[in-house]
């Protein structure tokens, strides 16, 4: 929130005609104090002066803010850019070793006209996740949408895989979203205007497959977290939903394809091609396909939807 003493400076830097009862925002304004303004009262509008708001009630609200984990590449990166295009200021997270790609992403978001922030950290660490949320609120003003997108994949089987690999996969894919939801929800409740918690499930959260034990278990857990959190947080006007991608062209899918080629002796790309041909839509999905679904779930259009896991898989797992 801006103080009343700073209002004239803001208006002088970003002068606009204000109409009664009309919300205003200006992405072209370079001021770090850019906000949504609502004028309630009577009187004619004017341009660029404090007289425009004399004898009126002025309510200034922060821009809506989203935090996307696992944003350095793939679906997370596309989601962050989509939310910026939707009008959100966006904080982006990944592990510290990916700070370079995150900083490049923030420049793209800045070019869209939104404010961005890098909050590198480990989503499996409760201390670091709490610190991420606190940092976003301190620097961007609020937190309205949490997208728990970070995830990893390791091939695993019941009989042969070490427990350490299971702990690592479940730690990132299930514990990570749990911590992100916990501290984002606490912040949203304190703000008193609701919010959106959105997480990455998978087609594997609805249909298991051999060689994916830890991953499948972690994604089934993501669906359970989504449903339980939705029940608990509904009274605070916080919706909780997940997206379940199938064959989406990402670095993770390309890595799996390369491993499959080495193990089974087929040509690179053959695994992806076979998978696409088995789908009703006969194509691999794009990260933009996923980002558009997240955009919907983060919007007011999805305000009466909660506890759901939406497949985005070209028809791989009909429901």
The pLDDT of residue 15? 36
C-alpha distances in Å from residue 145, one per residue of 27, 210, 224, 233: 19, 34, 20, 14
% pLDDT > 70, the chain = 80
Domains in the chain, please, with CATH? 4-61 (no CATH), 65-248+285-312 (3.40.50.720)
Mean pLDDT of 233-242: 98
For residues 303 and 298, give the distance between their C-alpha atoms in angstroms, rounded to a whole number.
8
Residue of 219, 243, 256, 310 marked catalytic: 219
Residue of 215, 243, 256, 310 marked catalytic: 215
Triad 88, 94, 95: Cα angle to 5°: 160
pLDDT tens-digit series, residues 34-68: 333 333 333 434 344 433 333 333 333 347 999 99
- Sign of the dihedral through C-alpha 36, 39, 45, 47: negative
- Sign of the dihedral through C-alpha 9, 13, 16, 21: negative
pLDDT tens-digit series, residues 59-70: 333 479 999 999
What is the DSSP annotation of 22-43?
--B--TT---TT--EEEEEE-S
pLDDT tens-digit series, residues 257-269: 888 888 888 899 8
Other beta carbons within 10 angstroms of residue 98's beta carbon come to 18
Across the chain, mean pLDDT equals 84
C-alpha distances in Å from residue 119, one per residue of 52, 208, 236: 38, 33, 26
Backbone φ, ψ for residue 71 (5° rounding)? -95, 0
User: What residues contact 116, with CB distance under 8 A and at least 6 apart?
Assistant: 80, 84, 89, 90, 91, 92, 105, 106, 109, 110
Instruction: Please give the model's pTM, rounded to 2 decimal places.
Output: 0.80
Q: Is residue 215 annotated as part of the catalytic site, yes or no?
A: yes
The pLDDT of residue 99? 98
What is the four-CA torsion angle of 182, 146, 30, 75, rounded to 10 degrees? 140
The pLDDT of residue 263? 84
pLDDT tens-digit series, residues 191-227: 999 999 999 999 999 999 999 999 999 999 999 999 9
Q: Is residue 219 annotated as part of the catalytic site, yes or no?
A: yes
For residues 65 and 69, give the distance between their C-alpha atoms in angstroms, rounded to a whole number.
13
Whether the per-residue pLDDT at 27 is higher than 80: the answer is no
% pLDDT > 90, the chain = 71
Mean pLDDT of 134-147: 98
């Amino acid at each position: 929130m801006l103080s009343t003493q700073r209002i004239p400076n803001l208006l002088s830097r970003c002068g606009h005609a204000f109409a009664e009862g009309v919300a205003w925002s200006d992405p072209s304004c370079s001021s770090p104090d850019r906000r949504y303004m609502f004028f309630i009262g009577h009187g004619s509008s004017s341009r660029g002066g404090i007289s425009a708001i004399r004898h009126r009630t002025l309510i200034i609200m922060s821009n809506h803010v989203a935090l996307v984990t696992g944003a350095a590449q793939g679906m997370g990166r596309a989601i962050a850019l989509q939310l910026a295009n939707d009008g959100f200021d966006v904080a982006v997270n990944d592990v510290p070793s990916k700070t370079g790609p995150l900083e490049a992403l923030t420049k793209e978001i800045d070019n869209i006209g939104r404010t961005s922030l890098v909050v590198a950290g480990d989503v499996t660490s409760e201390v670091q996740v709490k610190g991420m949320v606190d940092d976003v609120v301190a620097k961007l003003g609020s937190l309205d949408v949490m997208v728990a997108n970070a995830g990893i994949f390791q091939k695993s089987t019941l009989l042969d895989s070490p427990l350490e690999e299971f702990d690592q996969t479940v730690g990132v894919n299930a514990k990570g979203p749990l911590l992100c939801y916990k501290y984002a929800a606490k912040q949203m409740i304190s703000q008193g205007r609701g919010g959106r918690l959105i997480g990455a499930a998978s087609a594997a959260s609805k249909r298991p497959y051999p060689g994916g034990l830890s991953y499948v278990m972690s994604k089934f857990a993501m669906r359970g977290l989504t449903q339980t959190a939705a029940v608990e947080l509904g009274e605070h006007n916080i919706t909780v939903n997940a997206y379940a991608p199938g064959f989406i062209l990402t670095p993770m899918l390309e890595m799996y394809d390369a491993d499959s080629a080495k193990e089974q002796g087929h040509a690179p790309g053959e695994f992806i091609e076979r998978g696409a041909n088995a789908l009703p839509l006969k194509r691999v999905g794009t990260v933009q396909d996923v980002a558009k679904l997240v955009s919907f779930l983060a919007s007011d259009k999805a305000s009466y939807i909660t506890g759901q896991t939406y497949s985005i898989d070209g028809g791989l797992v009909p429901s």
